């Protein structure tokens, strides 16, 4: 039986051994930002799992109002600029409870674009502001179909309201997806953790 000592952190370590990763949902990698330009998962996305879950916690921007997003690399590619199509739906309410709404946000979607997919449309940089949520990537090693993803998350907006966000889309390639990167539209990731799980 494998034992990991107390306090040990596994950073972008790829797949854990079979003696540890024996359940239906397995932690494969965990990365914590500290003034980091991005968080990149460059190993561990393989044919071992049909679904990958990226769970992020208390992601805090260094730049007020920066937008948090992600992109992919297909096998053998670089630059995190794959072609994808996405949609963005948001529900919001402000702290004064005098401005609320729900609806599609056209400015945050993509139609065969190569930019980072926006998950949160402007996170505040105050000490208590951040974003949290999860992204699911489906069957990334399949070489017959496009690669689908969904996102559900919430953030403390720069304008002092809460937003509940839904994003869905697909990467328009039949090549295997092997890498994923998260970053803000400007400035560093001041703090926060992203965990990658494999789901059987």
Residues 33-74: tens digit of each pLDDT: 999 999 999 999 999 999 999 999 999 999 999 999 999 999
% of the chain exceeding 70 in pLDDT: 88
% of the chain exceeding 90 in pLDDT: 87
Which CA distances in Å does 133 have to 28, 74, 75, 83?
18, 24, 26, 23
CA dihedral 57, 75, 117, 107 (to 10 degrees): 180
- The predicted pLDDT at position 22 comes to 55
- Cα–Cα distance between 35 and 3 in angstroms, integer? 31
Window from 7-11, 29-33, 191-195 with minimum mean pLDDT: 7-11
In the numeric block, the tokens 């992203």 are attached to 194
Nearest to 78 by CA among 159, 175, 8, 169: 175
Residues 175, 143: contact at Cβ < 8 Å? yes
How many C-beta atoms surround the C-beta of residue 32 within 10 A?
A: 15
| pLDDT above 90 (res 197) | yes
Q: For 107, list phi and psi in degrees, rounded to 5.
A: -70, -15
pLDDT digits (tens, 9 = 90+) for 125-147: 999 999 999 999 999 999 999 99
Which CA distances in Å does 132 have to 14, 31, 42?
23, 14, 22
Q: Hey, what domains does the chain have and what are their CATH numbers?
A: 28-199 (2.60.120)
pLDDT digits (tens, 9 = 90+) for 87-99: 999 999 999 999 9
Nearest to 184 by CA among 196, 174, 192, 176: 192
């Amino acid at each position: 039986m494998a034992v990991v000592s107390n306090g040990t952190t596994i950073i972008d370590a790829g797949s854990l051994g079979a003696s540890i990763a024996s359940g239906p949902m397995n932690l494969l990698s965990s990365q914590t930002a500290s003034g980091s330009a991005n968080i990149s998962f460059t190993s561990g996305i393989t044919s071992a799992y049909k679904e990958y879950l990226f769970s992020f916690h208390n992601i805090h921007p260094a730049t007020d109002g920066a937008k948090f997003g992600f992109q992919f690399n297909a096998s053998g590619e670089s630059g995190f600029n794959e072609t994808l199509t996405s949609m963005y739906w948001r529900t919001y309410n402000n702290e004064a409870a005098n401005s609320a709404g729900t609806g599609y946000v056209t400015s945050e979607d993509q139609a065969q674009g190569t930019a980072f997919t926006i998950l949160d449309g402007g996170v505040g940089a105050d000490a208590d502001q951040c974003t949290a949520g999860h992204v699911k990537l489906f069957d990334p090693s399949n070489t017959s179909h496009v690669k689908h993803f969904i996102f559900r998350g919430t953030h403390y907006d720069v304008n002092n309201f809460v937003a509940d966000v839904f994003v869905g889309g697909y990467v328009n390639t039949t090549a295997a997806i092997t890498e994923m990167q998260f970053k803000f539209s400007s400035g560093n990731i001041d703090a926060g953790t992203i965990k990658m799980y494999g789901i059987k």
